[in-house]
Amino acid sequence: MAHRLRNPLEPGDLVLFYNKPLESQWGLLFKNHWNGPYRVINHINNGPYELDELDGTKLTKIFSENHIKKFYPRGKKVQSSSESENEISEQIEYEESILEGEEI
């Protein structure tokens, strides 16, 4: 029986995928074979997964269950681009108020 993930991944989960062609290249023998993180878009018929990059760009290839694993970020949560833009604008407003001598 083929290797299957014990807990199927849900859309929105972060994953890494295994780059198998690196195994046969001598110059890249000790290179990290796991690429990512990527976000799960869809689980197709209980088989392969569709992934996209964190910026929303969809990957053209689909990935088998035995070539991906769940990614657990350290510390910070992954933010969407709109959340990070809001934080940046709030930080700019705060810094401008400090430069002008105002208090918040």
Asked if 9 and 40 count as a contact pair (C-beta separation under 8 A), the reply is yes
Question: 47 and 84: one domain?
Answer: no
Q: Which domain holds residue 102?
A: 75-104
pLDDT score of 16 more than 90? yes
Name residue 38's beta-bridge partners: 15
**What pLDDT score does 51 carry?**
95
Question: 60 and 99: one domain?
Answer: no
Question: 79 and 54: one domain?
Answer: no
Asked if 15 and 9 count as a contact pair (C-beta separation under 8 A), the reply is yes
At 1, the pLDDT band (50, 70, 90 cuts) reads very low
Question: 47 and 96: one domain?
Answer: no
Q: In CATH, what number is assigned to the domain containing residue 30?
A: 2.30.30.140
The number of angstroms, rounded, from the C-alpha of 104 to the middle of its chain's C-alpha atoms is 36
pTM: 0.59
Q: What is the tens place of the pLDDT at every residue in 29-86?
A: 666 778 889 999 999 988 899 999 999 999 999 988 888 999 988 876 655 555 666 7
